[in-house]
Amino acid sequence: MGDPADQLDDYTSDCRARVAFEVLANRWDSVVVFTIAAYGPMRPTALLTRIGGISPKVLNDALRRLEYNGLMERRPYPEVPPRVDYALTEAGNALLEPMQAMGAWASRYADAVLDAQERFEVREAYTRPGAARRRRISLPGNAE
C-alpha cells in the first residue's frame, strides 16, 4: 500500500481495479449495501422505509444489479404472500471496509467538494457566460 504505481497496471492494462468502482457506480447501490451491512439481511419493504427517497422499482433495479454483480444474494421463501430478503455475499461483505474508508474521506471532504463546485460555477459564469450547467452532487439538503 505504498507506491500508487503498484496498482497502476491494473488501470492501463486490464483495469481490474476499476471493477470496484463500477459495481457501486450507480446512485443507490452503495446505500443499499451499506444499509444491509449495518442491519443484516432485509426485505425490500424494510429497505424502502429505512432508506427513504427511493421508489420500489429503482430499489428492485439496484437489488438485481447487486445480485448480478455478486455482491448480494436473493433469498426467496416459498410462502404466500411472497417473502424475500437480500443478504450480502462474501464479496459484498469484504467490500464494506474499503467503503468505510471512502466514507471517511467523504465526511472530511464533502464540504470541499461542494465548495469547489460553487467556486467553479462562479468562475465559469464570469469567463463563459453561456456555459452549460454541470451535474452537481445531489444531497437531500442540496436539492434545488
Which partner, a copy of itself, DNA, none, binds residue 19 by CB below 5 to 8 Å per kind? a copy of itself
CB 21 within 8 A of CB 72: no
| Binding residue for a copy of itself, selected from 14, 45, 56, 77, defined by CB under 8 A | 14
Q: DSSP per residue over 22-67, as a string?
A: HTT-STTHHHHHHHHHHH-SB-HHHHHHHH-S--HHHHHHHHHHHH
Q: Which of 48, 69, 85, 87 binds a copy of itself (CB under 8 A)?
A: 69
Residues contributing to the site for DNA (CB under 7 A): 26-29, 43-45, 54-58, 60-65, 74, 76, 81-85, 128, 132-133, 135
Residue 130 interacts with a copy of itself (CB under 8 A)? no
